[in-house]
A and B are shown apart, each in its own frame.
Chain A
Amino acid sequence: MPLLSIPSDWLFGLLGGLIIGLSAAVLLLGNARILGASGILGSVIDGSEPDAATERLWFLGALIGVPAIAVLIFGAPQTNVSGDLPLLALAGVLVGLGTRLANGCTSGHGVCGMSRFSWRSIVSTLVYLAAGFVVMFVARHIFGVL
């Protein structure tokens, strides 16, 4: 449904984005921590930052629990997850390995790092975006998958 001829998806994107930025601001100004989803999950898994493990489990619990409650109330949106489980497994390994090697993902580098003009984050974001564009082009338009 268009509002002032702007697609509603874009408005929801902007609103959701502002809330994502707010959540990162809360973590930074409250706890002096960078909101990076891969770093938060990864450090809990490999035990690399034991002092922060408890608060990170609280973060992860709320990250799973609060949307779960919202979905119970308002219904689940489409995730359109592929039915190709081996492909999802491959993609998951690439995302887990890649984000830990790069020390960040869309939230840590894309939102928190870019907003402080971190050179590493800007380079990482440009590279993972470019890789995503290329892989999507090859997979969808050359091999006809995805």
Chain B
Amino acid sequence: MRNIVSAISGGLFGLGLLISGMTDTAKVQGWLDLFGQWDPTLAFVLGGAILPMLLAWRVAARRKVSATGEAFPALPGPLIDGRLLTGSVLFGAGWALAGFCPGPAIASLTWGGLGGLVFVIAMVGGMVLSTVVGKRRLAAA
């Protein structure tokens, strides 16, 4: 059951990314080009995506558990640390350079060509690298 729910969610997510234009890197870069030919489309995407989730969090607050019987994830504390800030800066920089964030890059793997594939492989490499960086920080602490 959990696998089926997960697959339905992944499939809808992919369709949403495709329809919204998030798999078009030029469009994403146009959104980030605030001081040039700015393309506001992504504001509609983000706004549209937040609406159902505002409702979903309200439903989650009223119920104790999900349909498959698990407790909902707790709200993380308000801690803002260097890891969150550094990670967000690095992500934003990479997002601008390629026009891809993780979801659209994965969704467009089958038609994104060699460039899309190179991006995803490098992204996987960066994720592996994060475990090394994380361990170093722990060792240093």
Contacts and interface: CB of A to CB of B under 8 A. Distances in A.
Contacts of A127: 85, 88-89, 92
A16 B115 contact: no
Nearest to A68: B110
Nearest to A115: B53
B20 to A, nearest CB: 2
Contacts of A102: 83-88, 90-91
A30 B67 contact: yes
B48 A13 contact: yes
A64 B123 contact: no
Interface in A2-40: 7, 9-35, 37-38
Interface string B1-43: 0111111111111111111111111110100111110011111
Q: B interface, how many residues as a size bin?
A: 35 or more
Nearest to B106: A63
Given A95-B91, A95-B101, A101-B90, A79 B112 contact: yes
A31 B25 contact: no
A119 B76 CA distance: 8
A33 B113 contact: no
Contacts of A68: 109-111
Contacts of A65: 11, 14
Interface of B: 2-27, 29, 32-36, 39-57, 59-60, 63, 65-68, 70-73, 75-80, 83-103, 105-116, 118-131, 133-134
4 tightest Cβ-Cβ pairs between the two chains A and B: A16-B20, A96-B126, A17-B48, A92-B122
22 contacts: A10-B44, A13-B44, A13-B45, A16-B21, A17-B16, A17-B45, A19-B12, A19-B13, A27-B6, A41-B102, A55-B3, A64-B109, A82-B99, A92-B100, A92-B119, A95-B123, A101-B130, A101-B133, A102-B84, A106-B46, A112-B53, A135-B92
